[in-house]
């Protein structure tokens, strides 16, 4: 009986050590190793962006020209609608984005961010489907996708003026996610009078 207890104690100690090493490995691969490589580390909701994300304007509007640089965080909150012109899910998400754009009015500026190399197609998509947004392309797409953990399009991100991510959703916005985004926008606006 005594040997059984000694064996069981050693086995449990070994399992504890293995689980500890596995946890340390997961933390290192998720945060430490990418940072050592100089890769951006993805932030979660409630965390602040490290550095500034830079975008170039795709479509000229009165008072600006194509190619003007826009930075996030900037002067206020920014809602990022990340799309590709060839993405069927982005097209299906347009109604939800339209509601989000209306909710952001007066609270946050809205950037439609094209994640693709076909600039004429991105421009045409933004003009046709997202006309009330500022169409941009990231100066460094790898930094954008890494910093925000974007793995798919469509993606919807709300960044406060101080760089804190208030909302992040990869994929289409369902009703619950859209309500959550509208609530986050209302929280940025402050109490109504």
* Strand 165-170 with 155-159, pairing: antiparallel
Residue 78 φ then ψ, to 5°:
-135, 130
Write out the chain's pLDDT in tens, 193 residues: 677 788 888 889 999 999 988 887 776 666 555 555 555 557 788 888 878 889 998 866 555 665 688 888 888 999 999 999 999 999 999 999 999 999 999 999 999 999 998 999 999 999 999 988 999 999 988 888 888 888 889 999 999 989 999 999 999 999 999 999 999 999 988 765 4
Q: Is 137 within the bounds of a domain? A: yes
Q: Are residues 35 and 90 in the same domain?
A: no
d(CA 123, CA 112): 10
Helix, strand, coil percentages, rounded to 5, for the chain:
45, 20, 35
Q: Is 57 within the bounds of a domain? A: yes
Which pLDDT value is given to residue 96? 96
Q: Are residues 123 and 78 in the same domain?
A: yes
Residue 116 φ then ψ, to 5°:
-165, 165
Tell me which residue range forms the domain holding 170: 53-189
Q: Are residues 18 and 90 in the same domain?
A: no
Q: Are residues 103 and 58 in the same domain?
A: yes
Which pLDDT value is given to residue 22? 82
Which pLDDT value is given to residue 193? 46
Which pLDDT value is given to residue 65? 62
d(CA 173, CA 157): 11
Q: Are residues 164 and 70 in the same domain?
A: yes
Q: Are residues 152 and 78 in the same domain?
A: yes
Q: Are residues 69 and 107 in the same domain?
A: yes
Q: Is 69 within the bounds of a domain? A: yes
Global confidence as pTM = 0.75
Q: Is 47 within the bounds of a domain? A: no
The structural domain count of the chain equals 2
Q: Is 45 within the bounds of a domain? A: no
CATH number at residue 142: 3.40.30.10
Which pLDDT value is given to residue 1? 65
List the 77-83 sheet strands across, edge first.
69-72, 53-57, 134-138, 108-114, 77-83, 155-159, 165-170
Q: Are residues 125 and 74 in the same domain?
A: yes
Q: Are residues 76 and 27 in the same domain?
A: no
Q: Are residues 120 and 154 in the same domain?
A: yes
**Biggest alpha carbon–alpha carbon distance for the chain:** 85
């Amino acid at each position: 009986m005594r040997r059984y207890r000694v064996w069981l104690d050693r086995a449990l100690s070994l399992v504890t050590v293995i689980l500890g090493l596995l946890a340390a490995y997961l933390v290192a691969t998720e945060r430490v190793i990418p940072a050592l490589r100089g890769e951006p580390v993805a932030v979660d909701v409630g965390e602040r962006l490290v550095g500034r994300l830079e975008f170039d304007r795709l479509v000229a509007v009165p008072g600006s020209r194509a190619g003007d640089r826009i930075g996030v965080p900037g002067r206020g909150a920014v809602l990022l609608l990340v799309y590709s012109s060839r993405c069927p899910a982005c097209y299906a998400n347009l109604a939800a984005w339209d509601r989000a754009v209306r909710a952001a009015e007066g609270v946050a500026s809205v950037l439609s961010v094209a994640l693709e190399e076909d600039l004429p197609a991105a421009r045409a998509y933004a003009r046709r489907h997202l006309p009330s947004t500022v169409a941009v392309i990231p100066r460094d797409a790898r930094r954008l996708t890494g910093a925000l953990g974007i793995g798919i399009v469509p993606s919807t991100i709300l960044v406060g003026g101080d760089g804190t991510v208030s909302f992040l959703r990869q994929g289409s916005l369902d009703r619950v996610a859209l309500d959550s985004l509208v609530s986050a926008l209302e929280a940025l606006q402050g109490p109504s009078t």
